[in-house]
Amino acid sequence: MIDALDFITSTHVVEQPLSAVVLMGGEGYFSNDIALNVIEAAADLALESWHNISRIDDMVHYLLHELPSCNILTVAGIRGNCAAGDVAMAAACDVVLAGCEVILNPAYGAIGLHGSEYHSLSYTGKCGSAGASRLLLT
């Protein structure tokens, strides 16, 4: 995903502008492609978790900073359930559309991880300080 966003930002030119990037999951879930099975199978769970959360941070950085600086609108189309870093990624988009049956679970605590530093930025912008605090403590 980072390679795709690198390509978009490096090839985006004023003469042929790109208006929007839409991130859309499949019917089952909205995902940033972080595989918890890979973390659980790693020799060093903490290190593998750190690498994965760092990649989520990289994605969120692109969505909050790089694409807006190119005047590219970002849209998250959530068709299935969405959890942890996936929620952080979607919340960093300019527009979030979700199906009426979608369940959002932003918590990392239940799986023993600590979330992205970008949560406080994207969640506060979407649901205010009090809402962000409630989401980050679960």
Residue 130: pLDDT over 70 = yes
Measuring CA to CA, which residue among 51, 48, 52, 60 is closest to residue 23? 60
Domain range annotation of the chain:
21-137
pLDDT in tens, 111-129: 565 555 666 667 777 778 8
Q: 21-137: CATH homologous superfamily?
A: 2-enoyl-CoA Hydratase; Chain A, domain 1 (3.90.226.10)
Measuring CA to CA, which residue among 45, 28, 44 is closest to residue 36? 45
Residue 74: pLDDT over 90 = yes
pLDDT of residue 72: 92
Looking at per-residue pLDDT, the higher value among 50 and 113 belongs to: 50
CA distance 91 to 126: 7
The pTM of the full predicted model, rounded to 2 decimals, is 0.80
pLDDT of residue 119: 62
Q: Which residue, chain included where needed, has tokens 């879930």?
A: 29
pLDDT of residue 13: 72
Q: Per-residue confidence at 95, pLDDT binned at 50, 70, 90?
A: very high
